[in-house]
């Protein structure tokens, strides 16, 4: 098993390296930060001075090798925008995003698994149909739209929660709800279909024949096997929540990695983009390890495959 | 039980007693919602939109300021100035002024700020405004300083309005995120909630009504507007026309920006009849009140009417598609390749509904026989097209541009855009060059007339552009306060101008 994780770590390190190289060159292909940082009518002399000051006038390969050298010391360089070490900015913003992602995916998972399992208990019942339609809507609505509508309905019309910002618990409600909606919708679909197939399997029929109570059959016998595809999709969604966080954090003014990345991309703050991509990639790698471990716990068959 | 009632009664009374005090404290604290978080709020970046709106004349004051009404120069930290020849001005500084860190404001501080502004160690964006000019200082006494410019500048008092004076304790090797100036508000903190400032008790001028302000950053216009609607914020800056639905609190104002399409005068656009046809076939009235605010003004030139050198005698282009078609036919008969496809290049993000505006104009041109292809670009790509040196294989095209001259004088527009050696000029007209050269070296009426004549020749005889509109922005101002936006409000929003109803 240790070998399995070592192999996985090696592959991840290779893809991380490829990612870093790609991000380095692709971000620089967008042009010079001087274009965005200086006013449109800045004279050429100022652009030249700006590029020299920040080392963008050096050949790209030279910039790349000094970047690699620094990277070995986990030094991503200074943020162009804020004049602070890029990695510090990312690590400062990371807990907010991780918490946001954690709450969203946990809420999505609990709500969706219960809903999906209940829907699967009696396929085509009224409950199942409502759950299916609502989950389809949830999975298909774009985040930015839900966010704005959420503000109009819950903050402006009903005045239940603040529109945006951080500081109070109430300010987390809308962002979490918006972020949870899409994964919840998808997981309901997956949980429902997976549970339907598990519920029709022989061992569930045996349990029924034995006279086990329905609740026990559904949430103990069936759910354990039904969870495997759910974990895969939930893991995927948890990794993808960073995409949603970009939009949600920007709209709600949340100081997380998503907002930091967008601001950095808008200003071509290369150092922060690179640090952000690296840290996010490592987080996703760790999440994949966690998913593997969850599989191990849930399905003994995977243990043999991994050994 | 009795005791409980008594206690409850007492707490209600206590709360009631505290209420007015609480109310007063809350009433004079403001929250202002801005569209984007700036990179820094340094006192040498006061002319940059997202920075100046927080810093300029609130935290950091300049030597002079420009009046938003008539563009005239008003004293601020400089009380008097006198041209003593040789490019030098003798400037008297206000007395009894201190920085927020307690340092006295004096000639040393001005010299320090000017040196820092020109430093090669940091990229002060206000340097854009003094590009190609070297500014030197000579301290005469504590409150008198001689400021010289090489080459000599006729508009020296205007240049003083770009010089933000910061405390001599400001770092010289990095842009500041915690500026220290002499303004009515002192910087307090910049954290995840936003930028906080508080009234400075040692301010030399009249104490403002606002006691403290928080600037929060929300990219979504609808959300900024909602924040004011429910009282989370007092001012929502720059909201989109579709969110400005309540005329009582949504105030439109000319924002100082002018849009146009620059014409790259290569075949077929090298023929003046074709350029006239472009202007005649564009129904400028049709877009007002439909996809653009009805308060936008049709522009005849690239500067606003309050700018010295604006020519008031120029008439907007009439909408005359028949004449446009006739001109095109004439040109075609003379062998001008008028059927060739022309690129119309827009830059993303100038103003709301921009692409719709360009599509509408594209259709109007198609109706008279032009073939125009619309391309929207990111600013980096767009910049490669607008700045010299131009690529050698350039073709005829139209480039959408937006320009804000908020500095009171046409000089900040004319050479750059119209002189043969202007960085973004398409022109090569000896008479316009001569007029710009003359105007730049003159003062008073001679200056005004020379710029006005240059603008007439440009609009009537050269036609290097399709003038469009002087643009408006909307500001949502909460009903508990009064604030009248002006042409400078996008880059300079003085908290001291805000009063409570």
Burial A14-35 (b: 16+ CB within 10 A, else e): eebeebbeebbeebbeebbbbb
Mean pLDDT value across residues B7-27: 43
Is it the case that residue B143 has pLDDT exceeding 60?
yes
Q: Helix B411-418 vs helix B430-441: angle between axes, to the nearest 10 degrees? A: 150
Closest by Cβ to A38, choosing from B37, B125, B378 = B125
Q: CB distance A53–B120 less than 8 Å? A: yes
A108: Cβ–Cβ under 8 A, 6 or more apart, which residues?
Answer: A180, A181, A183, A184, A187, A234, A237
| Same domain, residue pair B395 and B422 | yes
Q: Which residues of B325-349 are buried (b: 16+ CB within 10 A; e: fewer)?
A: bebbeebbeeebebeeebebbbbee
Task: Say which range, A85-89, B200-204, B363-367, has the weakest mean pLDDT.
Answer: A85-89
Distance between CA atoms of residues B392 and B128, nearest Å: 27
Model confidence pLDDT, tens digit, residues B385-403:
888 888 888 899 999 999 9
Query: In this structure, what token pair is assigned to residue A21?
Result: 């190289």
Tokens read off for B70 = 């008539």
Q: Chain A partners of B230 at a C-beta cutoff of 8 Å?
A: 155-156, 159, 163
> Based on the domain organization, do B75 and B151 belong to the same domain?
yes
Domain final residue pick, B165, B194, B215? B165
Classified as helix, coil or strand, A281 is helix
> Do B369 and B266 belong together in one domain?
yes
B114 occurs within a structural domain: yes
**Sign of the dihedral through C-alpha A125, A126, A127, A131:** positive
> What pLDDT, on the 0 to 100 scale, is given for residue B11?
45
Looking at residue B248, the DSSP 8-state letter turns out to be: T
- Selection from B409, B426, B408 nearest residue B417 by Cα: B426
Q: Are B483 and B497 in contact (CB under 8 A)?
A: yes
Two structure tokens written together for A1:
């098993």
**Structure confidence at residue B27 as a pLDDT band (50, 70, 90):** low
For residue B10, pLDDT over 60 is answered with: no
> Is B107 part of any domain?
yes
Of the candidates B127, B175, B226, the beta carbon closest to that of A155 is on B226
Higher pLDDT, B67 or A242: B67
Per-residue pLDDT at B118: 93
> Does B2 map to a domain?
no
Helix residue ranges, H only, B56-186: 107-117, 156-160
B466 and B477 in a single domain? The answer is: no
Task: Report whether pLDDT(B21) > 90.
Answer: no
pTM exceeds 0.95, yes or no: no
With beta carbons under 8 A apart, name residues in chain B contacting A39: 47-48, 125, 128
Q: For residue A51, what is the nearest residue in chain B, using CA coordinates?
A: B123
What confidence score (pLDDT) does residue A26 get? Answer: 86
A284 burial type by CB count under 10 A (0-12 exposed, 13-18 middle, 19+ buried): middle
* pLDDT the model gives residue A239: 80
Asked whether residue B375 falls in the same domain as residue B461, the answer is yes
Task: Write out the two tokens for B267.
Answer: 């075949």
Determine whether the interchain pair B219/A162 forms a contact, defined as Cβ–Cβ distance below 8 Å. Answer: no
* Whether residue B157 is found in the same domain as residue B104: yes
Q: Which residue has the tokens 């991503």?
A: A76
Q: Which residues of B181-197 are buried (b: 16+ CB within 10 A; e: fewer)?
A: bbbbbbbeebeebbbbb
Does residue B9 sit within a domain? no
Cβ-contact B242, B486 below 8 angstroms: no
Q: Is residue B8 part of a domain?
A: no
Question: Domain check: are B153 and B225 in the same one?
Answer: no
Is the confidence at residue B1, as pLDDT, over 70? Answer: no
Chain B residues with CB within 8 Å of chain A CB: 37, 39-40, 47-48, 120-123, 125, 127-128, 131-132, 174-175, 177, 192-193, 216-220, 222-223, 226-227, 229-230, 232, 378-381, 383, 386-387, 416, 423-424
The domain that holds B277 is classified in CATH as 3.10.105.10
Q: List the single residue in A43, A163, A253 with the smallest CB-CB distance to B131.
A: A43
pLDDT of B426 higher than 50: yes
Q: What is the mean pLDDT of residues B186-215?
A: 94
* Mutation for A interface: B35, B134, B387, B412, most A CBs within 10 A: B387
Smallest CA–CA distance, residue A148 to chain B, in Å, is 7
Helix (H, G, I), strand (E, B) or coil at B499: strand
Do B355 and B249 reside in the same domain of the chain? no
Q: Choose among A32, A46, A165: nearest Cβ to B127.
A: A46
- Give yes or no for a contact between B482 and B501, defined as CB atoms under 8 angstroms apart: yes
pLDDT of B9 reads 45
Residue B105, pLDDT > 80, answer yes
How many domains does the structure of chain B reveal? 3
Tell me how far the alpha carbon of residue B413 is from its chain's centroid. Answer: 13
Burial (CB count within 10 angstroms: exposed 0-12, middle 13-18, buried 19+), residue A57 = middle
- Boundaries of domain holding B386: 256-471
Count other C-beta atoms under 10 Å from residue B19's C-beta: 10
Is residue B7 pLDDT above 70, yes or no?
A: no
Query: Are B333 and B269 in the same domain?
Result: yes
> Could you give all domains of chain A from N- to C-terminal order, each with its CATH number?
86-304 (1.10.3720.10)
Closest CA to B394 of B248, B263, B498, B484: B263
Tell me what the mean pLDDT of segment B264-271 comes to: 95
What is d(CA B314, CA B471) in angstroms, rounded to the nearest whole number? 18
Q: How is A108-136 classified by DSSP, letter by letter?
A: HHHHHHHHHHHHHHSTTSHHHHHHHHHHH
What is d(CA B180, CA B171) in angstroms, rounded to the nearest whole number?
11
Q: Are strands B144-150 and B134-141 parallel, antiparallel or unpaired?
A: antiparallel
Whether residue B25 has pLDDT greater than 80: no
B467 and B478 share one domain: no
pLDDT band at B302 (very low <50, low <70, confident <90, very high): very high
In a domain, B456, yes or no: yes
Q: How far apart are CA A127 and CA B427, in angstroms?
A: 72
**Cβ <8 Å between A166 and B175:** no
- Look at B227 and A42 and tell me if their CB atoms are within 8 Å: no
pLDDT for A306 equals 58
Picking from A39, A80, A165, the nearest residue to B48 by CB comes out as A39
Query: B190 in a domain, yes or no?
Result: yes
HSE toward the beta carbon, residue B495, CA cutoff 13 A: 33
Whole-number percent of chain B with pLDDT over 90:
71
The bridge status of strand B250-264 relative to strand B465-477 is: antiparallel
Please count the other Cβ atoms lying within 10 Å of the Cβ belonging to residue A228. 16
**Is residue B430 assigned to a domain?**
yes
Tokens of B307: 């700018």
The full length of chain B comes to 501
Secondary structure letter of residue A18 according to DSSP: H
Torsion of CA B102, B103, B106, B107, to 10 degrees: -150
Query: What mean pLDDT is predicted for residues B278-286?
Result: 97
B196: CATH: 3.40.190.10
Q: Measured between alpha carbons, how far is A243 from B311 in angstroms, rounded to an integer? A: 51
Establish if A48 touches chain B: CB-CB under 8 angstroms.
Answer: no
Q: Are residues B357 and B438 in the same domain?
A: yes
At residue B8 the predicted structure's pLDDT band, cuts being 50, 70 and 90, is very low
Positive or negative, the Cα torsion across B49, B54, B56, B60? negative
Low-confidence stretches of chain A (pLDDT beneath 50): none
Distances (CA, A) of A37 to A32, A107, B122, B171, B223: 9, 40, 13, 20, 26
Residues B242, B346, single domain; the answer is: no
Chain A residues with CB under 8 Å of B215 CB are none
Alpha-carbon distances, residue A22 vs A15, A65, A271, B353, B498 (angstroms): 10, 14, 14, 35, 50
Other beta carbons within 10 Å of A59: 8
Using the beta-carbon criterion (under 8 Å), do A50 and B219 form an inter-chain contact?
no
Three-state DSSP at B80 gives strand
Torsion (CA) B450, B451, B454, B455 in degrees, nearest 10: -140
DSSP conformation class of B147: E
Q: Looking at the predicted structure, is the pLDDT value of residue B445 above 90?
A: yes
The complex scores an ipTM of 0.81
């Amino acid at each position: 098993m240790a070998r399995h994780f070592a192999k996985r770590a090696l592959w991840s390190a290779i893809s991380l390296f490829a990612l870093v190289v790609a991000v380095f060159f692709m971000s620089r292909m967008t042009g010079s930060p001087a274009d965005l940082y200086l006013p449109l009518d800045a004279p050429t002399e100022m652009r030249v001075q700006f590029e020299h000051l920040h080392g963008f006038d050096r050949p790209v390969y030279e910039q790349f090798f000094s970047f690699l050298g620094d990277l070995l010391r986990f030094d991503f360089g200074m943020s162009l925008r804020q004049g602070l070490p890029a990695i510090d900015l990312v690590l400062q913003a990371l807990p907010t995003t991780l918490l946001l992602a954690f709450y969203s995916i946990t809420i999505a998972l609990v709500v969706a698994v219960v809903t999906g399992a209940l829907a699967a208990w009696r396929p085509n019942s009224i409950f199942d149909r409502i759950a299916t339609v609502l989950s389809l809507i949830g999975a298909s609505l774009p985040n930015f739209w839900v966010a704005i509508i959420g503000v109009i309905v819950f903050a402006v019309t009903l005045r239940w929660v603040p529109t945006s910002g951080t500081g109070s618990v109430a300010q987390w409600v809308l962002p979490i709800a918006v972020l949870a909606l899409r994964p919840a919708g998808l997981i309901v679909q997956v949980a429902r279909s997976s549970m339907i197939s598990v519920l029709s399997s022989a061992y569930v029929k045996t349990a029924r024949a034995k006279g086990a109570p329905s609740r026990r059959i559904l949430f103990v016998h069936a759910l354990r096997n039904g969870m495997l595809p759910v974990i895969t999709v939930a893991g995927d969604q948890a990794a993808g929540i960073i995409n949603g966080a970009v939009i949600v954090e920007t709209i709600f003014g949340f100081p997380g990695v998503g907002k930091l990345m967008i601001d950095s991309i808008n200003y071509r703050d290369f150092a922060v983009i690179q640090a952000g991509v690296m840290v996010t990639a490592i987080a996703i790698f760790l999440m994949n390890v966690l998913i593997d471990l969850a599989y191990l716990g849930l399905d003994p068959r995977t243990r043999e495959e991994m050994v | 039980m009795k005791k409980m009632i008594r206690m409850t009664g007492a707490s209600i009374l206590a709360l009631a007693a505290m209420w007015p005090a609480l109310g007063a404290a809350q009433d004079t604290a403001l929250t202002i919602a801005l569209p984007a978080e700036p990179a820094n709020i340094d006192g040498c970046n006061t002319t940059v939109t997202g920075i100046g709106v927080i810093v300029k004349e609130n935290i950091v004051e300049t030597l002079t300021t420009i009046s938003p009404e008539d563009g005239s120069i008003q004293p601020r930290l400089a009380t008097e100035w006198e041209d003593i020849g040789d490019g030098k001005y003798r400037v008297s500084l206000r007395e009894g002024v201190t920085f927020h860190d307690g340092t006295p404001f004096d000639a040393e501080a001005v010299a320090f700020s000017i040196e820092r502004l020109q430093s090669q160690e940091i990229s002060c964006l206000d340097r854009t405004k003094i590009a190609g000019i070297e500014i030197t200082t000579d301290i005469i006494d504590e409150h008198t300083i001689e400021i010289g410019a090489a080459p000599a500048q006729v508009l020296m008092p205007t240049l003083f309005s770009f010089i933000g004076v910061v405390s001599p304790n400001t770092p010289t090797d990095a842009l500041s995120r915690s500026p220290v100036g002499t303004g009515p508000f002192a910087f307090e903190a910049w954290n995840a909630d936003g930028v906080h400032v508080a009234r400075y008790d040692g301010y030399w001028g009249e104490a403002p009504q606002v006691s403290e302000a928080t600037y929060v950053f929300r990219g979504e216009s609808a959300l900024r507007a909602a924040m004011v609607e429910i009282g989370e914020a007092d001012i929502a800056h720059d909201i989109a026309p579709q969110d400005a639905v309540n005329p009582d609190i949504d105030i439109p104002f000319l924002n100082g920006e002018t849009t146009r399409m620059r014409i790259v005068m290569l075949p077929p656009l090298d023929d003046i009849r074709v350029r006239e046809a472009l202007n005649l076939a564009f129904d400028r009235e049709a877009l007002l009140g439909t996809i653009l605010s009805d308060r936008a003004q049709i522009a005849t030139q690239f500067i606003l009417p309050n700018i010295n050198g604006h020519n008031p005698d120029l008439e907007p282009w009439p909408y005359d598609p028949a004449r446009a078609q006739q001109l095109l036919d004439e040109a075609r008969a003379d062998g001008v390749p008028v059927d060739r496809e022309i690129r119309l290049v827009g830059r993303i993000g100038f103003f709301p509904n921009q692409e719709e505006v360009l599509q509408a104009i594209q259709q109007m041109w198609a109706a008279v026989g032009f073939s125009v292809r619309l391309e929207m670009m990111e600013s980096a790509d767009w910049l490669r097209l607008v700045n010299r040196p131009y690529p050698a294989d350039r073709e005829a095209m139209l480039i959408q541009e937006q320009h804000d001259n908020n500095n009171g004088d046409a000089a900040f527009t004319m050479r750059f855009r119209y002189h043969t050696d202007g960085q973004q000029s398409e022109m090569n007209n000896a008479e316009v060059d001569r007029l710009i050269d003359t105007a730049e070296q003159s003062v008073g009426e001679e200056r005004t007339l020379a710029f006005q004549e240059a603008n007439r020749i440009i609009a009537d005889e050269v036609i290097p552009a399709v003038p469009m509109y002087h643009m408006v922005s909307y500001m949502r101002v909460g009903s508990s306060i009064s604030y009248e936006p002006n042409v400078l409000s996008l880059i300079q929003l003085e908290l001291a101008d805000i009063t409570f109803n």
